[in-house]
Amino acid sequence: MITIVVNNKQVFQVVFYYHTGQFMNIKDTVAVVTGGASGLGEAVVREIIAKGGSVTIADLNEDAGNKLAAELGDRAIFHKTDVCSEEQVASMLNACVNAFGKVTAALSFAGIAIAMKTLGKNGPHPLEQYQKVIDINLVGTFNVSRLASEAMQNNTANDDGELGVIINTASVAAFDGQKGQPAYAASKAGVAGLTLPMARDLASYGVRVNTIAPGLFLTPMLSSLPEEAQEALSKQPLFPQRLGKPEEIAKLACFMIECAYLNAEVVRLDGGIRLP
């Protein structure tokens, strides 16, 4: 309680109430992370484990997933998962519940990117390639979100009535997509556009929904570029002029898990970049 005093007279008192919600602390979090065996997803997995939480790593890369789970110990398991498959996602969520008793956070980092113009020298953009990107990045994200929200209904609500949180991944390409990005930009714009209506849908069920829109991050894909190419890309953000670090995405994801009042937001994490 704070007492406000003016000219030696008590004007009013302000009382602050604090409570600790069951899922507001990362150490109480049981998360599923798609695309969790490498890149941004791996960084998120490591951050949650480091803060005391438990994670089910969902990925198609069995070798990388099993290796990471073995390294991280008893609070991490791996489950091979195609995010576009209802059966495989349901199986992954069940594995998480069987291992850790519940699912309180679902974070989608599985995704692919292609560079292909709407019309190029070899003709129009192949439709099957466009559909593949939309299926994995957008439909797969929705598939994980819808099934995870159902699994969260078995949790015990905290003081806010919260049962869980969903965190999806868009991209700055959703807002300023470049040449050759019609499929990727459309898929990520779809994820960004999904955020508010999904948050509205799930509010009465005690589930929050937020989305991260990363800029240029030093993932395995960018790390494979020549040094001069990486240097050129690092000059595009306003400040700091460098590529983002995967652990910075992980810190934002953990903040989104813990901050109960953050809901229905798409947050750019990009150093102020606007793609030319």
pLDDT, tens only, 53-90: 999 999 999 999 999 999 999 999 999 999 999 999 99
Check 17, 184, 205, 261 and give the catalytic one: 184
pLDDT, tens only, 142-198: 999 999 999 999 999 999 999 999 999 999 999 999 999 999 999 999 999 999 999
Is position 3 within any domain? no
Provide the number of structural domains found in the chain. Answer: 1
Domain enclosing residue 186, as ranges: 23-269
Is position 130 within any domain? yes
pLDDT value, residue 13? 55
CATH number for the domain spanning 58: value is: 3.40.50.720
Distance CA 95, CA 58 (A): 10
Extended strands (E) in the chain: 2-6, 9-14, 30-34, 54-59, 76-80, 105-108, 119-120, 123-124, 164-169, 207-214, 266-269
Residue 241 is classified by DSSP as -
Tell me how crowded residue 275 is: count the other CB atoms within 10 A of its CB.
16
In DSSP terms, 1 is beta-bridged to none
Nearest to 113 by CA among 44, 198, 178: 178
Q: By the 8 A CB rule, do 117 and 125 touch? A: yes
pLDDT, tens only, 139-150: 999 999 999 999
Residue 269 is classified by DSSP as E
Is position 18 within any domain? no
Is position 150 within any domain? yes
Structure tokens at 54: 């438990």
Is position 4 within any domain? no
Tell me how crowded residue 107 is: count the other CB atoms within 10 A of its CB.
31
Report the percent of the chain where pLDDT is more than 70.
90
- The amino acid occupying position 186 is A
Using DSSP, state whether 9 is helix, strand or coil.
strand
Q: By the 8 A CB rule, do 144 and 36 touch? A: no
pTM reported for the whole predicted model: 0.90
Distance CA 231, CA 44 (A): 25
Q: Does the annotation mark 184 as catalytic?
A: yes
Is position 50 within any domain? yes
pLDDT value, residue 223? 75
Over residues 213-235, the mean pLDDT reads 84
Distance CA 210, CA 162 (A): 14
Is position 7 within any domain? no
pLDDT, tens only, 109-123: 999 999 999 999 999
Distance CA 203, CA 210 (A): 12
* H or E stretch at 197: helix 182-203
Cβ burial, residue 257 (10 Å; 0-12/13-18/19+): buried
